[in-house]
Chains A and B, each alone.
Chain A
Amino acid sequence: MTQIIVVTSGKGGVGKTTTSASLACGLAQRGKKTAVIDFDVGLRNLDLIMGCERRVVYDFVNVINGDCTLKQALIRDKRLDSLYVLAASQTRDKDALTQDGVERVLKELAEDGFDYILCDSPAGIERGAFLAMYFADIAVVVVNPEVSSVRDSDRILGLLAAKTRKAEQGGKVKDSLLLTRYNPARVEVGEMLSIKDVEEILGIPVLGVIPESPDVLNASNKGEPVILEPQTPAAQAYEDAVARLLGEDRPLRFTQVEKKGFFSKLFGG
């Protein structure tokens, strides 16, 4: 059975594409045949984060329009054999994505034996975001511990509960939160919403908590999804999230302030 996962948030810049790239790599690392699709028509970015921007020949809209086959448009990842990327179109025509077209592509991927399809949603609640979530089985709502992001996430949760195929058929998309840019030190001094705060306000559990870290920008600079830098805390936190997606039980890490030694306590830093 193919599982369709939408990575969404409402608000822009919270880490949807970073998360899509890392979750897709993590699933592929575990041998799952995985496709990750950029739904942000007009603002293609997933290819850059995945480091395959120079290998894009055909895109999602080309496949929908029948300009090429799905096989021609899927970019096989150079690091992981079972991982494929489908780039967004750079067209300015926002109506280029159609519900029928998206359904056909997802169906063909399922028939090709893909285990997971990740839909990287654009920001906002327009057509692209709607189509990215419409066919989903699982939703990963990316949220920063910050007021506007939390509010927008709640809006998205409302849409997931009403405007998806699952909802229309009387079912429910399995939704979860992924907290990014989490800074335990600021939480401890009362400058940032805690995991518990966000969980309580939104009423759904967290799938993962990614600590705020310079490693994320360094990874995107290189076109290397951060999960592929296994020594970094962000990578380990994403690995945990992947494990939980697959049903494993993992305790949260990097959510407490590290205990400082006597000298750093005395002199700061």
Chain B
Amino acid sequence: MGLFDFLRPKKDTASIARERLRIIVSQERGSRGGPDYLPLLRRELLEVIRKYVSVDLEAVKVDLVRDGEHDVLDISVSLSERDEGGSAPA
């Protein structure tokens, strides 16, 4: 310690914590207030889609949007570039 402090490698785990928290907190805030079935619906949709197309884990977005009198279930699936020419329906 002291004089030889510089020999100890700096760990900087705090920045890892910060990044992990940023991601999980924003993700959890996004689903907050929505119906409880949304995360499960999203996961099952993702599984079905992945049977046919290879997509990222983040490719499926499911939101409940209020549109005037109605609630609209908004489902969007983004396909990565290389799949677009294939048989994947958009």
- Give complex CA distance A162, B33 in Å: 8
B25 nearest in chain A by CB position = A154
Given known pairs A190-B10, A193-B18, the reply for A267 and B2 (CB within 8 Å) is: yes
Identify which of B17, B20, B29 gathers the most chain A CB atoms within 10 Å of its CB.
B17
- Give complex CA distance A201, B25 in Å: 8
Say what secondary structure dominates the interface of chain A. Answer: helix
Complex interface: chain A residues within 8 A of B3 (CB): 266-268
Return the contact of A201 from the options B1, B2, B18 (Cβ within 8 A): B18
Question: What interface size band does chain A fall in?
Answer: 20 to 34
A192: interface (CB < 8 Å): yes
Given known pairs A193-B18, A265-B2, A266-B2, the reply for A154 and B29 (CB within 8 Å) is: yes
Complex interface: chain B residues within 8 A of A187 (CB): 14
Let me know if A268 and B14 touch, CB within 8 A. Answer: no
A158: interface (CB < 8 Å): yes
Give the distance to chain B from A177, nearest Cβ to Cβ, in Å. Answer: 14
Complex interface: chain B residues within 8 A of A189 (CB): 10-12
Given known pairs A158-B29, A266-B3, the reply for A151 and B14 (CB within 8 Å) is: no
Say what secondary structure dominates the interface of chain B. Answer: helix
- Give complex CA distance A146, B16 in Å: 11
Instruction: Mark interface residues in B27-48 (1 if CB within 8 Å of A CB, else 0).
Output: 0110011000000000000000
- Give complex CA distance A197, B21 in Å: 10
Given known pairs A147-B20, A158-B32, the reply for A190 and B14 (CB within 8 Å) is: yes
- Give complex CA distance A265, B28 in Å: 44
B15 nearest in chain A by CB position = A190
A150: interface (CB < 8 Å): yes
B22: interface (CB < 8 Å): yes
A194: interface (CB < 8 Å): yes
Let me know if B1 and A193 touch, CB within 8 A. Answer: no
Return the contact of B21 from the options A151, A192, A267 (Cβ within 8 A): A151
Return the contact of B1 from the options A154, A192, A194, A269 (Cβ within 8 A): A269
- Give complex CA distance A251, B72 in Å: 48
B3 nearest in chain A by CB position = A266
Let me know if B28 and A191 touch, CB within 8 A. Answer: no
Complex interface: chain A residues within 8 A of B17 (CB): 146-147, 193, 197
- Chain A interface (Cβ < 8 Å from any Cβ of B): 146-147, 150-151, 154-155, 158, 162, 187, 189-194, 197, 201-202, 264-269
- Chain B interface (Cβ < 8 Å from any Cβ of A): 1-3, 5, 10-15, 17-18, 20-22, 24-25, 28-29, 32-33
Given contacts A154-B28, A193-B18, A197-B18, 10 further A-B contacts (CB under 8 A): A151-B24, A154-B25, A187-B14, A190-B12, A190-B13, A201-B18, A201-B25, A266-B2, A268-B2, A268-B3
List of 7 A-B pairs having minimum Cβ-Cβ separation, nearest first: A268-B1, A190-B12, A268-B2, A190-B14, A267-B2, A158-B32, A197-B18
